[in-house]
Amino acid sequence: MSTIKDVARIAGVSIATVSRVVNKGPKVGEKTRNRVLKIMQEIGYMPNANARALVTQKNTTIGVVIPDLTDPFFASLAHGVDKIAREKNMQVLLSTGLISESSERQAINLLLERRCDAVVIHSKKLSDDELVELSKRVPGLILIDRFIERIKHRCVWLDNAEGGKLAARHLLAMAHNSFACITSQYEIDDPLLRLQGFKDGILDAGFTLENKLIAKQEPTLQGGEIAAQELLSQNIPFSALFVYNDAMAIGAISTFEDNGFRVPQDISVIGFDDVLLSRYSRPKLTTLNYPIEDMAANAALLALEYRESPEQYSAPEGLKYLPSLVTRESTIRNKSR
Amino acid sequence: MSTIKDVARIAGVSIATVSRVVNKGPKVGEKTRNRVLKIMQEIGYMPNANARALVTQKNTTIGVVIPDLTDPFFASLAHGVDKIAREKNMQVLLSTGLISESSERQAINLLLERRCDAVVIHSKKLSDDELVELSKRVPGLILIDRFIERIKHRCVWLDNAEGGKLAARHLLAMAHNSFACITSQYEIDDPLLRLQGFKDGILDAGFTLENKLIAKQEPTLQGGEIAAQELLSQNIPFSALFVYNDAMAIGAISTFEDNGFRVPQDISVIGFDDVLLSRYSRPKLTTLNYPIEDMAANAALLALEYRESPEQYSAPEGLKYLPSLVTRESTIRNKSR
DNA sequence: GTGAAAGCGCTAACAC
DNA sequence: GTGTTAGCGCTTTCAC
């Protein structure tokens, strides 16, 4: 691939001039400019972004760390960042660290080695301390879906407990009085807080959640199917089910129906996330909207700002989002007595 | 951020030695190595990937051009590439060009400026000529979901017409005899070939497709809803519907049910792509499996191979994939006489 | 308006 | 084993 030197040689000018043309810099004679432009065109010259990044110390790249792209939730996250990247004429560098401490660390390191201008990180496994340390070294680093008090200005997160509460109140308002829950088996904040919020919510009305009616599995469609089976096998009736996320909820509904239980007539089900799927599953899923795309876009914006002025925090309290209830067809007023 | 020089200075060695340590090169004394390692650790040194890419002429990056990440189909594509990237200790650089000629071109150019080792491109708008030209300049370039005879060794694609035929045969085998079709409004190969294949398929049994019963819309859930309304408003009965993709199919089913038509009892519907959604929608969607993740992974592999040995085509005929029928619940034997 | 030259952080000969 | 040095392709003073 040709370089700036080739262009300069053929055009009979110095590389400085070519550089000025490429960067639309000032003070280049009309004639020279056109000649250089023409030659660049002819030999198919493309400036080497790596070389440029090396000298300018910025490479128009936003890094994203997510576990995986198959999960629509994370695809939305990446898309939110990409949206901003496009606006700013930047690009997204993906670093997928499946969920393990070392792979998350490595995914982040790869982005840092690339000297990404900004980094949006979805990390569940790394310790608070490590993340705090990291944030000191990297100004344009934002944590998404995670809250760490010490560096809250670097955090963009959702109030999960509030989501659990909203779910509880919705079910309560529908006169439900016996509850079950399907949650993620991972002992991280999100499921823990959602569950806690839900428990708190029903407790306000004097209800509790039996431990036997809490099923934990992988937070996937398949996990939801298995969890629903576990619940059914307990042979304890319940009229309403709070599920960790939409994927699990849809998996669970699938299992219920295969076993002769109708949703919502026999069991009301409420999910979490409001992914596209939830709008087109049958029955349409009642769920809590998780504005992840928006959050990711704002995280990217924030990262970019911090990278520009590392001392000046435009969001000193961080960005906290609230989930909101989306009532569709999978929940219904409790008829049983 | 600290550089190799800092490490060298503090450790009291030359930068060459540090470089050797970083690259696990040979001939470094045990003691020196440990000292250097320790210092790198202490000052949090991370090698600058841009500088390295500049001198080695490779940057462990696979570029991907897709329209968008919100579409699960493209997310799967990106994931397929990412899978290979992870295997090879590389990373994915995303370049989203919404569907327009100039944005596609720009998305590709950005990747080339970065000197990606390999590039997997999903391009629908660029001309054959431009792509052929491009492929000459870039050895590690593979086109996915597109077939260009002149550079077929660079193509990884699906036999769309065959998919249409398979759909037709399935419906015919179910005794259907009146057909409608919902397709994408874009005049590109995929919808055209699928439709042609379908028409050919039913023609073999002596049936034809009425023009009035071909609805064209955006290839999205919303597009499917609208298209279904258009079909319904024609007031021409049909027992089976072939839809361009699963998203549209699910949108269409949604509209049908909202209008009192049951699927599959009143109308059998077959989709295309076999995205995750299709497995969990109600009714579960009969569709044609499009092994996009696999295809993308192999496209990435092929791109990497070609980049290594530009003259030697391990797939001189390109990689052609066949869709396969996945029978689920949205199609049923035709009962109406 | 244009060119010469220094240097971004690194690798890879080539010396010693 | 370790150091010196010449670039990789580019931007950016500083001269002229």
Residues lining strand D, beta carbon within 7 angstroms? A 3-5, 15-16, 19-20, 22-23, 45-48, 51-52, 54-56; B 12-17, 20, 27-29, 31-33, 51, 54-55, 57
Q: Are B123 and B188 spatial neighbours (Cβ–Cβ below 8 Å)?
A: no
For the record, the structure tokens of A288 come out as: 């809590």
Nearest CB neighbour to A109, from listed B46, B279, B283: B46
Whose structure tokens read 């080792």?
A: B117
Q: Are B196 and B188 spatial neighbours (Cβ–Cβ below 8 Å)?
A: no
Q: In chain A, what's the furthest Cα-to-Cα distance? A: 91
CA dist., res. A17 & res. B134, Å (int) = 27
For the record, the structure tokens of B194 come out as: 């699928």
For the record, the structure tokens of A15 come out as: 């590389």
- Output the pTM of the full model: 0.93
Interface test with B, best of A91, A243, A278 (most B CBs within 10 A): A91
Q: What is the pLDDT along chain B (337 residues), one digit of tens a residue?
A: 899 999 999 999 999 999 999 999 778 899 999 999 999 999 999 999 999 999 999 999 999 999 999 888 999 999 999 999 999 999 999 999 877 999 999 999 999 999 999 999 999 999 999 999 999 999 999 999 999 999 999 999 999 999 999 999 999 999 999 999 999 999 999 999 999 999 999 999 999 999 999 999 999 989 999 999 999 999 999 999 999 999 999 999 999 999 999 999 999 999 999 998 898 788 899 999 999 999 999 999 999 999 998 888 999 999 999 999 999 999 999 987 4
Q: What is the 3-state secondary structure (H, E, C) of B68-127?
A: CCCCHHHHHHHHHHHHHHHHCCCEEEEEECCCCHHHHHHHHHHHHHCCCCEEEECCCCCC
CA dist., res. A297 & res. A142, Å (int) = 11
CA dist., res. B182 & res. B226, Å (int) = 10
For the record, the structure tokens of A150 come out as: 């010490």
> Exposure string (b/e) for B256-295, b if CB count within 10 Å is 16 or more?
bbeeeeebbeebbbbbbbbbbbbbbbbbbbbbbbbbbbeb
CA dist., res. A179 & res. A239, Å (int) = 6
Q: What is the DSSP track for A185-237?
A: SS-SHHHHHHHHHHHHHHHTTT----GGGEEEE-SSHHHHHHHHHHHHHTT--
A 124-183 residues with CB < 8 A to B = 137
Provide the sign of the torsion angle of the four alpha carbons B307, B313, B316, B319, taken in this order: negative
